[in-house]
């Protein structure tokens, strides 16, 4: 196997404190990126001069010598962090995010930083400022990340670069962030494994905030096993993040091979278009029109796989699912409008010069933010504004309670919930860019987990007719990442979807 | 000011900086006067990705303040974001408390012209301070220093219970005393550790509804607060009497000119879009914690005043003066502990010492005289070693030396003359030199005695024991 | 749904061109129409959720840890026109005191 194809497990076994091997792997990845990133555009900041030249420069640890690529919204000391926004061009954080410190303590190093939707606002990577049409300096030929399986298609988003670089074998693994599906949706669309951990499981310190009550950092990997390995390193309580959980971190690999015979897998009818079982009464037909036929087929096959593996399949209901997107766009944009207010040209990033302060604010924020960022800032400003707060923000918080309760109830009957990750495979570049709501609906299956704060993982489960990857989502109870890994690993071991790689 | 036709309605918003070691949400040093931006980190600079974590001491101090202001301390509190743009606010929102403050519904006791009054406290909440914008001497711009950003603040909002500028002054004095006794703040208005805005409106006497209020800012001393309120009452009264209306606005006090002026900025209607701070968790304040803090509360000014009256037998007025500042009250008690008579100490400190300090522009914080020296002074006066008049001069000397009064007196030869023979000899000289006054006295003009005593005191440079002079002189004149 | 796009842009400190205003305004109308489906739900008796985990009382102790390098590092990469020695520099403030 070529070195660049290595996942974390193989990379660890290969390096084994051998500096030659360490450098060989690094070289293979640099070369690979040099060949394929011209097409994929996953990386926004990549410089071989920043890479360690010897294993001795790294701490020892479980990831000794393993390169990790990062979504460009995690602060890296001395390394530009832009959130793929014009407004943060030139921002060099003076500190490392907690996940970065944890990676470094574990012996890993930062390989490159990945493209994303601007401030994680999007599901296709097309709102990135590195997309020519959005670039302030009008680099018209620049392109945002493309899907490695077919470069006419989007990679998903917002962590599109993080998903694509792993799928394209120009990274061993990567980290992304997930506010409404931003890890799971691109993982599904690029055919890799992506996890959004339980809210509070991974520290948010140093993650440039989008929706503070929804954001979580999580791993992208080539296998479920690797995902468990990487989460093990970045999970845990952080005194710098008040919302970080004190819950002890499980040993994820200890239970990964336990199989699914003891597991009850819940299938929520609201996530499907057709009856889940033939003997269901006609009125149970969900008619989820947005669900692609290929996707539904692959998910049904996956359910069969689980059945054959001995899992118990249960019908469940998450009755408030259809409100999730609405609730998310109120809460997420409200928090974002406040989180993004600091980008005003005073301390860092873009400043458009003006005679007076007020004008500087208006001009900087006009030139610095792209369309989707403006849309969300304005929407968030509106739902918090005086006279509308109760009808929108507060109401949404109440519906959030109902969505959370749906899961509490469902998990009385099952251990894991299985759904499609995304209603469709990757769509074509430009297809949904001017239709915000249709774009928002690509997160319809992933958003609920963020609103409830539960962990959710996307794992490859096949391909569409035209050869694009499809992912299934497994959602679990709070802090049940070990169970998700167990369920996903069992599925992965019984199937070969994850072994397929795009031809680049 | 207008006749009794109108009455003023005054409410105060006081911001107090807490004197914790570190800032409210990060571990930066909380200190005034350092090099610009020296005490900053990603959190207080509001850098992307940084997150706040509450300083435990801040909540403890806030609970103390709530208890001292007779407030109800909340069972549950949370923080909210107050969103607005200004360069001194690096996150473009201030972490504050909106609908669940740490404490509410209390009061402060004050005395105005000898009358007791309660001023209601609406709420006291915790928030972060902003940075500092410097304009002076800078062309085409302003400089920003974020050292102050994240300094813990308690905002204390009073009910609109005050009717006169004097009440506002007394309220602030009482509030400052309480906060200093709690040792939670330096309450230094010059350094900005205590700041005050005043809401003032007027209404026809007897009317229940409030008038339109003006918010006055830029108040740099308690005196300025009282003056600005008085100015505002007069201005609003004139306005109404001339048939104009008062507009709701923010006005700035100009202390040099003694006027308030409208800010007249083209500010849009504020909409702070408060919402729960997602980066901080809610706080549950158990009743056990509250009792525990209550048990460690120091004696507050009112309690100490009463104790002074009861224990030392001094007047309420003196006790009030002595307890207004914690350090002064401490100074008094230490003086008594050093062996001074409590009543004499009260007289000397509340009147003479404070008077002389005022002349010298000193505060209790800058006073170098020790309680031991003060006690020594009172002792040598009471023993008759020096007269009270000489005592005042000796006190004057004490500001610039660390010698004890008895040493000063010896060195300067100020000891009182109580040797009857020596006094008699001076008296004989005076009688010989002022025969006319002696004749006057003997003819029944008794006030001639005063003149003769004066002559004796002059000749002894004030050192003769006045009681002995009186006694011997009278005996000689009536012989 | 009625809203004043200009007022929102003022609050959010974003300058919007005429066309941009029209376009974004149209988008917002559609999005608001979509999100208003939550009005179907009766929520009077429901508590709002701000935090999904029941974490409470998270403190740090009142201790100093110096990290003055951060401001210097941030200032270091700013152009001269945006700083003045160890100060951040902003254009003239004409908004008065907030």
Pair of tokens at residue A263: 């597991």
Give me the residues paired with residue B262 across strands: B251
- Angle A350-C95-C17 (CA atoms, 0-180°, nearest 5)? 50
Is-contact B379 B340, C-beta < 8 A?
yes
**C14 and chain A: CB distance < 8 Å anywhere?**
yes
Distance from CA of A398 to the nearest CA of C (A): 4
Q: Whose CA is closest to A382, among C96, B48, C14?
A: C14
| Span A4-57, pLDDT tens digits | 999 999 999 999 999 999 999 999 999 999 999 999 999 998 888 889 999 999
**Per-residue pLDDT tens over the stretch A195-253:** 999 999 999 999 999 999 999 999 999 999 999 999 999 999 999 999 999 999 999 99
Mean pLDDT, rounded, for C68-96: 84
Residue of B nearest to A341 (CA): B92
Percent of chain B at pLDDT above 70?
98
Chain C residues with CB-CB distance to A397 below 8 A: 48-50
Domain covering A3-254+486-498 assigned CATH 3.30.450.20 in the classification: no
Please report all neighbours of B, defined by 3+ CB atom pairs within 8 A.
A, C
Q: In this complex, do B38 and C71 lie within 8 Å of one another by their Cβ atoms?
A: yes
B278 and A243 in contact by Cβ < 8 A? Answer: yes
Distances (CA, A) of A501 to A224, A268, C38: 16, 31, 42
Question: Which of A83, A206, A338 is facing B93, going by the closest CB pair?
Answer: A338
Nearest to B203 by CA among B215, B212, B193, B194: B212
The CA-atom distances, in angstroms, between A387 and each of A381, B273, B375 are 12, 10, 65
Residues 173-212 of B with CB under 8 A from A: none
A353 touches chain C (CB under 8 A): yes
**B50 at interface of A, judged by CB pairs closer than 8 A:** yes
Q: Using a CB–CB cutoff of 8 Å, tell me whether A389 touches chain C.
A: no
* Residue of B26, B45, B48 to mutate, testing the A interface (most A Cβ within 10 Å of its Cβ): B48
How confident is the model over B244-265, as a mean pLDDT? 89
Q: What is the pLDDT of residue A10?
A: 98
Phi, psi of B138 (to 5 degrees): -115, 125
Mean pLDDT of B364-373: 93
- Beta strand B152-158 with B115-128 is antiparallel
pLDDT in tens, B34-93: 999 999 999 999 999 999 999 999 999 999 999 999 999 999 999 999 999 999 999 999
Sheet with B214-219: list strands edge to edge. Answer: B72-73, B103-112, B115-128, B152-158, B6-17, B194-204, B214-219, B249-254, B259-262
Determine contact: C43 vs chain B, CB below 8 A.
Answer: no
Chain C residue with CA closest to B264: the answer is C96
Above 60 in pLDDT, residue B266? Answer: no
Taking the domains of chain B in order of start, what are their residue ranges? 6-290, 299-412, 420-478
Give me the mean pLDDT over the B364-389 stretch.
90
| Region class of B462: left (phi > 0), else alpha (psi between -120 and 50), else beta | left
Report the topology of domain B420-478. Arc Repressor Mutant, subunit A (1.10.10)
Question: What average pLDDT does the segment C36-54 reach?
Answer: 96
Surface-to-core class of residue B475, CB atoms within 10 Å of its CB (0-12 exposed, 13-18 middle, 19+ buried) = exposed
pLDDT at residue C6 in the model: 94
> Between B and C, how many CB-CB pairs are < 8 A?
138
pLDDT, residue B69, reads 98
pLDDT (0 to 100) of residue A286:
61
Q: How confident is the model at residue B130 (pLDDT cuts 50, 70, 90)?
A: very high
- In terms of CA atoms, which chain C residue is nearest residue B285? C57
- From the list A186, A202, A48, the residue with the least C-alpha distance to A117 is A186
Helix (H) or strand (E) holding A413: helix A395-413
3-state secondary structure A101-164: HHHHHCCCEEEEEECCCHHHCCCCCCCCCCCHHHCCCCCCCCCCCCECCECCECCCCCCHHHHH
Q: Which residues of A touch B83 (CB under 8 A)?
A: 337-338, 341, 384
Nearest to A401 among C28, C37, C49 (CB): C49
Q: How confident is the model at residue A277 (pLDDT cuts 50, 70, 90)?
A: low
Q: Average pLDDT of chain A?
A: 95
Half-sphere exposure of A477 (CA within 13 A, CB side): 13
Residues of C in contact with A245 (CB under 8 A): 53, 55
Token pair in block for residue A31: 């070369």
Tokens of B37: 């931006």
Position of tokens 């006057």? B440
For B243, the 3-state DSSP assignment is: coil
What is the predicted pLDDT for the residue at B458?
A: 87
pLDDT for the residue numbered B307 = 96
Instruction: Say what the ipTM of the complex is.
Output: 0.96
Q: Which residues from C are below 8 Å from A347, CB to CB?
A: 74, 78, 88
Catalytic residue numbers of A?
71, 158, 182
Site of tokens 């974390």: A8
pLDDT of residue C3: 81
Place of tokens 């410097």: B134
What letter would DSSP give residue C83? E
Q: Cβ contacts (< 8 Å) between C68 and chain B: which residues?
A: 37-41
Residues C39 and A337: their CA atoms lie apart, in Å, by 23
Taking each continuous run of H as one helix and of E as one strand, the counts in chain C are 3, 3
Residue A285 pLDDT grade (very low, low, confident, very high; cuts 50, 70, 90): low
Cα(B329)–Cα(B335) distance, integer angstroms = 10
What does the block give as tokens for B98? 């909106």
- Selected residue of C19, C31, C54, C94 to mutate for chain A interface (largest A Cβ count, 10 A): C31
Which of A8-22, A278-292, A297-311, A456-470 shows the lowest mean pLDDT across its residues? A278-292
Closest CB to C28 among A239, A359, A378 = A378
What's the mean pLDDT in B245-259? 93
| Spatial separation of the C-alpha atoms in residues B302 and A392, rounded to whole Å | 49
The rounded distance, in Å, linking the Cα atoms of A94 and A116 is 22
Q: Distance (Å, rounded) from C-alpha B384 to C-alpha B415? A: 9
- Reading the block at residue B473, the tokens are 């002189």
Cis-peptide, bond into residue A158, ω within 30° of zero = yes
Question: Residue A224 has which token pair?
Answer: 């479920």
Query: Does A94 lie at the interface with C, CB-CB under 8 angstroms?
Result: yes
Edge-to-edge order in the sheet of strand C87-90:
B132-134, B142-145, C87-90, C83-84
Separation of first and last alpha carbons in chain A: 16
Cα A414 to Cα A418: distance, rounded to the nearest angstrom: 10
Q: Is the pLDDT of residue B2 over 50?
A: no
Nearest Cα residue to A457 out of A181, A239, A67, A229: A181
pLDDT in tens, A393-437: 999 999 999 999 999 999 999 999 999 999 999 999 999 988 888
Pairwise pLDDT comparison (B446 vs C24), residue with the higher score: C24
Strands annotated E in A38-107: 43-45, 67-71
Instruction: Convert A198-266 into a string of H (helix), E (strand) and C (coil).
Output: CCCCECCCCECCCCCCCCEEEEEECCHHHHHHHHHHHECCCCCCCCCCCCCCCCHHHHCCCCCCCCEEE
* CA gap B413, B64 in Å, rounded: 52
For all residues of chain C together, what is the average pLDDT? 90
Mean pLDDT confidence for C53-75:
89
Task: Give the number of other Cβ atoms within 10 Å of residue C70's Cβ.
Answer: 22
- For a pLDDT cut of 70, what percent of chain A falls above it? 97
**Angle, in degrees to the nearest 10, between helices B466-478 and B420-433:** 50
Q: Which residue has tokens 């209901």?
A: A317
Cβ C37–A326 below 8 Å, yes or no? Answer: yes
The reply to whether C24 touches chain B by the CB within 8 Å rule is: no
- Nearest CA distance, B23 vs chain C (angstrom): 8
Whether residues C34 and A326 touch (CB distance < 8 A) is answered with yes
Q: Of B254, B265, B149, B134, nearest to C92 (Cα)?
A: B134
pLDDT at residue A284 tops 80 = no
State how far the Cα of A84 lies from the Cα of A99, in Å rounded to an integer. 20
pTM of the predicted structure, to 2 decimals: 0.92
- Whether B239 shows a pLDDT value over 90: the answer reads yes
Mean pLDDT of chain B: 92
**Cβ contact C37–A452 (<8 Å):** no
Q: Which of C38, C46, C73 sits opposite A327 (nearest CB)?
A: C38
Asked if residue B245 has pLDDT above 90, the reply is no
Q: What is the pLDDT of residues A465-476, one digit of tens each?
A: 999 999 999 999
Q: A361 vs A129, A268, A377, A401, CA distance in Å? A: 20, 47, 14, 37
Which residues does B156 contact at the CB level (< 8 Å), separation at least 6?
B13, B14, B15, B16, B65, B69, B121, B123, B124, B175
Q: Does C98 touch chain A (CB under 8 A)?
A: no
Kindly identify which residue of chain A lies nearest to residue C61, measuring between CA atoms. A239
The mean pLDDT of B316-326, rounded to a whole number, is 91
Residue A139, pLDDT score: 62
Nearest C-alpha in A relative to C57:
A242
User: Is the Cβ pair C48, A377 closer than 8 Å?
Assistant: no
Evaluate if residue A271 carries a pLDDT over 50.
Answer: yes
């Amino acid at each position: 196997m070529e070195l660049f194809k290595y996942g974390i497990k193989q990379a660890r076994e290969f390096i084994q404190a051998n500096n030659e091997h360490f450098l060989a792997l690094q070289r293979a990845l640099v070369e690979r990126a040099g060949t394929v990133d011209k097409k994929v555009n996953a990386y926004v900041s990549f410089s071989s001069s920043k890479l360690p030249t010897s294993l001795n420069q790294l701490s020892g640890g479980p990831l000794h010598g393993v390169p990790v690529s990062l979504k460009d919204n995690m602060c890296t000391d001395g390394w530009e962090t832009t959130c793929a926004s014009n407004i943060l061009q030139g921002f060099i954080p003076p500190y490392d995010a907690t996940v970065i410190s944890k990676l470094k303590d574990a012996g890993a190093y930062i390989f490159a930083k990945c493209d994303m939707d601007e401030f994680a606002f999007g599901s296709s990577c097309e709102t990135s400022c590195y997309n020519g049409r959005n670039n302030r300096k009008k680099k018209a030929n620049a392109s945002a990340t493309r899907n490695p399986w077919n470069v006419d298609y989007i990679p998903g988003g917002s962590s599109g670069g993080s998903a694509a670089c792993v799928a394209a074998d120009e990274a061993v693994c990567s980290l992304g962030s997930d506010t409404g599906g931003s890890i799971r949706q691109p993982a599904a669309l690029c055919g890799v494994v992506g996890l959004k951990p339980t809210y509070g499981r991974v520290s948010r310190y140093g993650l440039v905030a989008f929706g503070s009550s929804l954001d979580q950092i999580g791993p992208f990997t080539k296998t479920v096993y690797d995902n468990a390995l990487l989460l093990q390193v970045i999970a845990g309580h952080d005194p710098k993040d008040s919302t970080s959980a004190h819950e002890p971190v499980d040993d994820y690999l200890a239970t990964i091979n336990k199989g699914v015979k003891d597991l009850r897998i819940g299938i929520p009818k609201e996530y499907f278009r057709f009856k889940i079982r033939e003997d269901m009464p006609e009125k149970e037909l969900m008619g989820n029109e947005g669900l692609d036929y290929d996707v539904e087929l692959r998910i049904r096959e996956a359910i069969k796989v689980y059945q054959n593996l001995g899992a118990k399949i249960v019908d469940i209901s998450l009755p408030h699912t259809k409100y999730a997107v609405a609730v998310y766009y109120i809460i997420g944009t409200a928090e974002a409008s406040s989180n993004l207010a600091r980008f005003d040209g005073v301390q860092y990033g873009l400043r458009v010069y003006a005679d007076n302060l007020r004008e500087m604010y208006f001009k900087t924020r006009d030139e610095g933010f792209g369309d989707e960022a403006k849309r969300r800032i304005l929407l968030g400003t509106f739902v918090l504004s005086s006279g509308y707060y109760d009808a929108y923000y507060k109401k949404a918080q109440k519906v959030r309670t109902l969505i959370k309760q749906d899961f509490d109830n469902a998990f009385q009957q099952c251990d894991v919930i299985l759904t499609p990750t995304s209603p469709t495979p990757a769509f074509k570049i430009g297809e949904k860019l001017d239709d915000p709501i249709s774009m928002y609906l690509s997160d319809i299956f992933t958003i609920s987990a963020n609103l409830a704060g539960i962990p959710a993982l996307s794992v490859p489960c096949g391909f569409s007719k035209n050869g694009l990857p499809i992912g299934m989502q497994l959602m679990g109870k709070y802090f049940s990442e070990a169970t998700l890994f167990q369920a996903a690993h069992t599925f992965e071991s019984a199937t070969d979807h994850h072994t397929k790689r795009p031809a680049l | 000011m207008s006749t009794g036709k109108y009455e003023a309605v005054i409410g105060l918003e006081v911001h107090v900086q807490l004197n914790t070691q570190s800032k409210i949400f990060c571990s930066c040093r909380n200190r005034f006067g350092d090099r610009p931006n020296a005490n900053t980190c990603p959190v207080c600079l509001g850098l992307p990705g940084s997150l706040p974590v509450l300083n435990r001491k801040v909540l403890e101090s806030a609970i103390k303040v709530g208890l001292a202001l007779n407030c109800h301390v909340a069972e549950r509190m949370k923080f909210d974001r107050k969103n607005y743009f200004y360069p001194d606010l690096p996150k473009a929102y201030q972490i504050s408390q909106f609908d669940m403050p740490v404490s509410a519904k209390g009061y402060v006791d004050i005395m105005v012209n000898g009358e007791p009054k309660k001023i209601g406290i609406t709420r006291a909440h915790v928030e972060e301070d902003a940075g500092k914008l410097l304009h002076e001497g800078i062309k085409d711009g302003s400089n920003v220093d974020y050292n102050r950003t994240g300094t813990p603040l308690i905002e204390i909002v009073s009910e609109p219970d005050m009717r006169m500028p004097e009440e506002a002054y007394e309220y602030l004095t009482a509030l400052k005393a309480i906060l200093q006794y709690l040792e939670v703040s330096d309450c230094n208005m010059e350094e900005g550790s205590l700041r005050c805005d005043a809401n003032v409106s007027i209404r026809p006497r007897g009317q229940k509804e409030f008038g339109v209020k003006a918010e006055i800012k830029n108040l740099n001393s308690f005196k300025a607060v009282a003056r600005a309120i008085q100015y505002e009452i007069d201005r609003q009264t004139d306005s109404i009497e001339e048939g104009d209306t008062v507009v709701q606005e923010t006005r700035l006090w100009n202390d040099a000119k003694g006027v308030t002026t409208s800010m007249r900025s083209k500010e849009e209607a504020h909409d702070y879009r408060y919402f729960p701070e997602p980066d901080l968790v809610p706080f549950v304040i158990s009743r056990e914690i509250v009792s525990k803090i209550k048990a460690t509360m120091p004696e507050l000014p009112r309690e100490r005043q009463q104790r002074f009256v009861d224990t030392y037998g001094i007047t309420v007025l003196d006790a009030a003066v002595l307890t207004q500042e914690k350090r002064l009250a401490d100074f008094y008690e230490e003086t008594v502990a050093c062996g001074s008579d409590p009543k004499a100490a009260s007289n000397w400190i509340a009147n003479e010492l404070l008077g002389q300090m005022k002349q010298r522009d000193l505060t209790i914080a800058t006073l170098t005289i020790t309680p031991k020296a003060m006690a020594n002074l009172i002792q040598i006066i009471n023993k008759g070693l020096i007269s009270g008049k000489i005592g005042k001069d000796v006190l004057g000397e004490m500001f610039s030396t660390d010698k004890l009064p008895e040493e000063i007196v010896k060195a300067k030869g100020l000891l009182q003359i109580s040797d009857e023979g020596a006094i008699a000899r001076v008296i004989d000289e005076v009688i010989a030199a002022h025969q006319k006054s002696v004749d006057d006295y003997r003819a029944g003009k008794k006030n001639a005695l005063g003149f003769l005593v004066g002559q004796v005191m002059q000749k002894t440079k004030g050192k003769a024991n006045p009681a002995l002079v009186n006694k011997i002189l009278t005996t000689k004149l009536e012989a | 749904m009625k809203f004043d796009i200009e007022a929102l842009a003022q609050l959010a400190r974003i300058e919007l061109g005429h066309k941009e205003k029209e376009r974004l305004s149209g988008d917002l109308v559609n999005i608001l129409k979509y999100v208003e489906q939550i009005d179907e739900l009766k929520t009077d008796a429901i508590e709002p959720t701000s935090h999904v985990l029941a974490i409470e009382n998270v403190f740090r102790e009142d201790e100093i840890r110096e990290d003055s390098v951060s401001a210097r590092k941030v200032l270091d990469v700013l152009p001269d026109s945006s700083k003045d020695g160890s100060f951040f520099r902003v254009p003239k403030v004409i908004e008065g005191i907030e």
